């Protein structure tokens, strides 16, 4: 098991190196991405400043907490962009291009997702962490470093769950042939990422917790950083871990039966 993990870690390192070299060849895209994220950050902070107005909070969210929320959104966008190729798993299967991954000594889904990393948006991660650190320190939050570390781990875990959800939809190509409509339906919920999940009705909150892990992207990390006690944080981590295990099991099972079906047709 350890050699299997080490092998995949080395592959990640190789993929990152190739992505870095590609980014250096197209520096303009990197700079424009950084500028775009800087503008997005300014617009959203100004938006929440206007919404708050003269009030101290909106549905329990202070301006400081909302600023931290924006910081985690930027962090998420930068981190998620690395795994963007997961959106093309369905097309790869439909065109028969998955064969090369089935013959290599690596997890095919792993290879499909990470073979082409997009790291031009990763500067958003630093921008996000910068605003989070600045606001939380100036707000007098205790144990900032610990809270920030836990929140980042939570956001990364949510990204992993989200990638598994999209990978699951892509693997349905083995049965449905075309899943772009399902993928696009999921993408349509991305708009919810930009608002604290706790402001939505309970039914929508459940959907944005168990089906699409939106609440773990920025809402819980922001509340973890600014408000929540450690017992509450522990319960949220336990919930996220449970959702992670469930989606991992679903993805693994779907992949197993999907490949068997694919091979039975001579793929």
pLDDT recorded at residue 141:
87
Counting DSSP H helices and E strands in the chain, the numbers are 13, 0
| Among candidate residues 187, 159, 80, the one with its CA nearest the CA of residue 124 | 80
Residue by residue, DSSP assigns 70-87 as HHHHHHHHHHHHTTGGGG
Any idea which of 80-84, 160-164, 172-176, 200-204 has the lowest mean pLDDT?
80-84
Structure-block tokens of residue 264: 């039975």
Whole-Å CA distances, 238 to 9, 157, 241, 244: 26, 12, 5, 10
> Are the CB atoms for 216 and 155 separated by under 8 Å?
yes
**pLDDT tens digit sequence for 14-39:** 666 666 676 666 677 677 878 888 89
Whole-model pTM: value is 0.84
Whole-angstrom CA distances from 95 to 86, 87, 145, 178 are 15, 14, 47, 11
Average pLDDT over residues 52-66: 87
Q: Specify the pLDDT at position 18.
A: 67
Contact in structure between 108 and 101 (CB atoms under 8 Å): yes
Domain ranges of the chain: 2-264
């Amino acid at each position: 098991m350890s050699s299997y993990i080490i092998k995949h870690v080395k592959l990640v390192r190789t993929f990152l190196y190739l992505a870095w070299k590609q980014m250096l060849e197209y520096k303009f895209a990197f700079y424009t991405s950084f500028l775009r994220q800087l503008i997005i950050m300014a617009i959203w902070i100004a938006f929440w400043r206007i919404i708050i107005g003269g009030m101290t909070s909106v549905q329990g969210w202070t301006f400081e907490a909302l600023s931290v929320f924006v910081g985690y959104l930027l962090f998420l966008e930068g981190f998620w962009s690395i795994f963007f190729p997961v959106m093309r798993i369905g097309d790869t299967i439909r065109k028969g291009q998955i064969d090369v991954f089935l013959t290599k000594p690596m997890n095919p889904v792993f290879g499909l997702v990470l073979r082409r990393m997009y790291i031009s948006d990763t500067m958003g991660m630093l921008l996000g962490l910068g605003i989070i650190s600045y606001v939380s320190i100036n707000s007098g939050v205790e144990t900032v470093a610990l809270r920030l570390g836990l929140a980042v781990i939570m956001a990364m875990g949510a990204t992993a769950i989200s990638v598994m959800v999209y990978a699951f939809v892509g693997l349905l190509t083995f049965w449905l042939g075309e899943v772009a409509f399902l993928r696009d339906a999921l993408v349509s919920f991305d708009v919810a990422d930009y608002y604290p999940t706790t402001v939505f009705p309970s039914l929508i909150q459940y959907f944005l917790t168990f089906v699409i892990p939106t609440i773990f992207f920025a809402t819980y990390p922001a509340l973890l950083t600014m408000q929540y006690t450690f017992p509450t944080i522990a319960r949220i981590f336990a919930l996220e871990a449970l959702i992670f295990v469930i989606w991992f099991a679903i993805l693994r099972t779907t992949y197993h039966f999907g490949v068997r079906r694919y091979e039975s047709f001579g793929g």
